[in-house]
């Protein structure tokens, strides 16, 4: 691991990075939120199926 080389490559990447526009940020936020909801829905469905198959409940 060459530390000076790694640091210069990190600095180069940070210099190229830009702050996203509001439109870009909102689009990424919507996609990430949809992904979180989708994973939660899948987890809920698996839990409901397992509860039904094991005969659990109140």
Q: What is the pLDDT of residue 23?
A: 97
Q: How many residues does the chain have?
A: 58
What count of Cα atoms within 13 Å lies in the side-chain half-sphere of residue 6?
3
Q: What is the pLDDT along the chain (58 residues), one digit of tens a residue?
A: 566 778 888 888 889 999 999 999 999 999 999 999 999 999 999 999 999 999 876 5
Note the pTM of the prediction, 2 decimals: 0.65
Instruction: Tell me if 21 sits within 8 A of 27, measured CB to CB.
Output: no
Over its C-alpha atoms, the chain yields an Rg (Å, rounded) of 22
- Give me the helices (H) in 1-58, please: 3-16, 22-54
Contacts of residue 28, defined as CB under 8 A and 6 or more positions apart, other chains included, come to 20
């Amino acid at each position: 691991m060459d530390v000076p080389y790694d640091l210069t490559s990190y600095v180069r990447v940070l210099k190229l990075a830009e702050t996203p526009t509001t439109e870009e940020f909102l689009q990424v936020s919507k996609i990430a939120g949809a992904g979180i909801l989708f994973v939660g829905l899948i987890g809920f469905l698996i839990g409901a199926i397992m509860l039904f198959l094991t005969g659990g409940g109140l």
